[in-house]
Amino acid sequence: MYGWAVAITQPQQEQKAIFNVERAGFQTYCPRIRTKRFYGRKRVASSELLFPRYFFVQISSQWHELLNSIGVQGVIMQGERPALLSDATLIGVRSQCDAQGYFIPPSPFQFKFGQRIQIERGPFNGQFGIYKGM
Protein backbone atom coordinates (compact mmCIF):
# COMPACT_ATOMS: atom_id res chain seq x y z
CA MET A 1 0.00 0.00 0.00
CA TYR A 2 1.15 3.51 -0.76
CA GLY A 3 -1.19 5.31 1.60
CA TRP A 4 -4.18 7.62 1.61
CA ALA A 5 -4.96 10.08 -1.19
CA VAL A 6 -7.86 12.40 -1.99
CA ALA A 7 -10.25 11.55 -4.82
CA ILE A 8 -12.37 14.18 -6.56
CA THR A 9 -15.91 13.30 -7.62
CA GLN A 10 -18.06 14.65 -10.38
CA PRO A 11 -20.62 17.21 -9.14
CA GLN A 12 -23.43 15.63 -7.08
CA GLN A 13 -21.95 12.14 -7.64
CA GLU A 14 -20.24 11.53 -4.30
CA GLN A 15 -22.28 8.50 -3.23
CA LYS A 16 -22.07 6.90 -6.66
CA ALA A 17 -18.30 7.45 -6.77
CA ILE A 18 -17.72 6.01 -3.29
CA PHE A 19 -19.87 2.97 -4.09
CA ASN A 20 -17.98 2.25 -7.31
CA VAL A 21 -14.55 2.86 -5.78
CA GLU A 22 -15.31 0.46 -2.93
CA ARG A 23 -16.66 -2.06 -5.45
CA ALA A 24 -13.30 -1.83 -7.25
CA GLY A 25 -11.60 -2.93 -4.01
CA PHE A 26 -10.40 0.37 -2.54
CA GLN A 27 -10.98 1.41 1.05
CA THR A 28 -12.61 4.84 1.43
CA TYR A 29 -13.24 7.30 4.21
CA CYS A 30 -15.75 10.11 3.82
CA PRO A 31 -16.58 12.08 6.98
CA ARG A 32 -19.99 13.73 7.27
CA ILE A 33 -21.41 16.57 9.32
CA ARG A 34 -24.85 16.78 10.90
CA THR A 35 -26.96 19.68 9.69
CA LYS A 36 -30.49 20.96 10.06
CA ARG A 37 -32.56 21.97 7.06
CA PHE A 38 -35.91 23.64 6.74
CA TYR A 39 -38.62 21.94 4.70
CA GLY A 40 -41.49 24.37 4.72
CA ARG A 41 -41.83 25.28 8.37
CA LYS A 42 -40.31 22.09 9.70
CA ARG A 43 -36.70 21.88 10.78
CA VAL A 44 -35.36 18.45 9.83
CA ALA A 45 -32.05 16.89 10.86
CA SER A 46 -29.93 15.74 7.95
CA SER A 47 -26.29 15.27 7.08
CA GLU A 48 -23.94 16.27 4.34
CA LEU A 49 -20.36 15.59 3.39
CA LEU A 50 -17.71 17.42 5.38
CA PHE A 51 -15.74 17.93 2.14
CA PRO A 52 -18.23 18.05 -0.76
CA ARG A 53 -16.85 16.41 -3.95
CA TYR A 54 -13.85 14.95 -2.08
CA PHE A 55 -13.21 11.73 -0.19
CA PHE A 56 -10.19 9.87 1.14
CA VAL A 57 -9.14 6.66 -0.57
CA GLN A 58 -6.42 4.19 0.33
CA ILE A 59 -4.40 3.54 -2.80
CA SER A 60 -1.90 0.95 -3.93
CA SER A 61 0.32 0.58 -6.97
CA GLN A 62 -2.86 -0.04 -9.02
CA TRP A 63 -4.26 3.43 -8.32
CA HIS A 64 -5.06 4.04 -12.01
CA GLU A 65 -8.11 1.78 -11.64
CA LEU A 66 -9.53 4.44 -9.35
CA LEU A 67 -9.79 6.86 -12.29
CA ASN A 68 -12.02 4.41 -14.19
CA SER A 69 -14.65 4.30 -11.44
CA ILE A 70 -17.99 5.88 -12.33
CA GLY A 71 -18.42 9.20 -10.55
CA VAL A 72 -14.70 9.85 -10.03
CA GLN A 73 -13.34 12.90 -11.82
CA GLY A 74 -9.75 12.60 -10.65
CA VAL A 75 -7.24 12.41 -7.84
CA ILE A 76 -5.25 15.24 -6.29
CA MET A 77 -1.82 14.74 -7.80
CA GLN A 78 1.75 15.59 -6.93
CA GLY A 79 3.52 15.45 -10.26
CA GLU A 80 2.68 12.15 -11.94
CA ARG A 81 1.60 10.36 -8.76
CA PRO A 82 -1.24 10.92 -6.31
CA ALA A 83 -0.40 13.28 -3.46
CA LEU A 84 -0.33 11.19 -0.31
CA LEU A 85 -1.67 12.37 3.02
CA SER A 86 0.42 12.03 6.12
CA ASP A 87 -0.91 9.59 8.69
CA ALA A 88 -1.18 12.50 11.14
CA THR A 89 -3.56 14.34 8.79
CA LEU A 90 -6.00 11.45 8.52
CA ILE A 91 -5.71 10.64 12.22
CA GLY A 92 -6.46 14.30 12.97
CA VAL A 93 -9.64 14.23 10.89
CA ARG A 94 -10.76 10.91 12.34
CA SER A 95 -10.10 12.07 15.90
CA GLN A 96 -12.65 14.87 15.42
CA CYS A 97 -15.37 12.42 14.28
CA ASP A 98 -17.66 10.23 16.34
CA ALA A 99 -18.04 6.45 15.94
CA GLN A 100 -20.50 6.87 13.05
CA GLY A 101 -18.06 9.09 11.11
CA TYR A 102 -19.80 12.41 11.83
CA PHE A 103 -17.54 15.41 12.36
CA ILE A 104 -17.93 17.07 15.75
CA PRO A 105 -17.14 20.76 15.34
CA PRO A 106 -15.05 22.25 18.11
CA SER A 107 -16.91 24.51 20.48
CA PRO A 108 -16.35 28.16 19.54
CA PHE A 109 -16.04 28.96 23.22
CA GLN A 110 -14.11 27.04 25.81
CA PHE A 111 -15.69 29.01 28.63
CA LYS A 112 -17.86 27.43 31.29
CA PHE A 113 -20.91 29.08 32.81
CA GLY A 114 -19.79 31.23 35.75
CA GLN A 115 -16.12 31.23 34.75
CA ARG A 116 -14.12 34.42 35.35
CA ILE A 117 -12.76 35.82 32.07
CA GLN A 118 -10.60 38.74 31.01
CA ILE A 119 -11.43 40.72 27.86
CA GLU A 120 -8.47 40.94 25.47
CA ARG A 121 -9.68 43.37 22.77
CA GLY A 122 -12.00 46.26 22.23
CA PRO A 123 -13.16 49.08 24.46
CA PHE A 124 -13.30 46.80 27.52
CA ASN A 125 -9.74 45.52 27.04
CA GLY A 126 -8.25 44.38 30.35
CA GLN A 127 -11.60 44.28 32.19
CA PHE A 128 -12.77 41.14 33.97
CA GLY A 129 -16.20 39.57 33.82
CA ILE A 130 -18.18 36.40 34.51
CA TYR A 131 -19.20 34.25 31.54
CA LYS A 132 -23.01 33.82 31.52
CA GLY A 133 -23.43 32.24 28.07
CA MET A 134 -24.13 33.31 24.52
Query: Please, which residues have CB within 8 angstroms of residue 25's CB and are 6 or more apart in sequence?
Result: 65
> What is the per-residue pLDDT for 62?
86
User: Residue 52: what pLDDT?
Assistant: 94
pLDDT at 109: 65
pLDDT at position 32 is 93
What b/e sequence results for 43-59 when a residue is b if at least 16 CB atoms lie within 10 Å of its CB, and e otherwise? eeeeeebbeeeebbbbb
Q: What per-residue confidence (pLDDT) applies to 118?
A: 87
Helical segments of 24-74, H only:
64-67
Interatomic CA distance for residues 126 and 42, integer angstroms:
44
pLDDT by 10-residue block (mean), the chain, 134 residues: 90 95 94 87 88 94 90 94 90 90 79 84 85 74
pLDDT tens figures, 77-104: 999 999 999 888 889 899 999 988 899 8
